[in-house]
Amino acid sequence: MRHTILISLLCLSVFACSSQLRTKPALASLPDVSFHQAGRVASGRLEATDIPNIAAAGIETVIDLRDDSETPDFDEAAAVRAAGMRYHNLPIHGPQDLTTENVRAFDALLATAGKSPTLIHCASSNRVGALIALRAATLQGMSGDEAVELGKAWGLGSLEPAVRERLDR
């Protein structure tokens, strides 16, 4: 409980210090939302009605980790671009896609986003947390346990065993 409160306070203070995001309430209704350093936001599934709020909050880049087949009735790429934001898609279907190649591609997308406020999402933020953890350990030199804890703060859940397996290799 104490750890959860500490992470929540840290996330709130990081968000408050980020002048790039204009309003937290516009994003607070997103499923599984969490706020991170340098204007980074993680969330679950987006709906068409979320796009105007995301743009109004100051998000400039959206990184979608879902396959288009997960949202057959919603062209997220078109909606995000029509709202004036950049859109990138890196489909992660499950544990089989937690590869070094995809971690590097994810890192490249974050580098491309630079310091612009960025929303990274999948259906529940689980895949977001998995890639964050793997990136932290494999590309940034964080210990496996620290990387997993970071991933959990970003939404890592059911993919934790697969992440730990890859980190143990």
DSSP string of the chain, one letter each residue:
-HHHHHHHHHHHHHHHH-TT---SHHHHTSTT-EEEGGGEEEES---GGGHHHHHHTT--EEEE-S-GGG-TT--HHHHHHHTT-EEEE----SGGG--HHHHHHHHHHHHHHTTS-EEEE-SSSHHHHHHHHHHHHHTT---HHHHHHHHHHHT--TTHHHHHHHHH-
Domains, the chain, in order of start with CATH, read: 2-168 (3.90.190.10)
Report residues of the chain scoring pLDDT below 70: 1-23
pLDDT tens digits along 118-145: 999 999 999 999 999 999 999 999 999 9
pLDDT for the residue numbered 32: 95
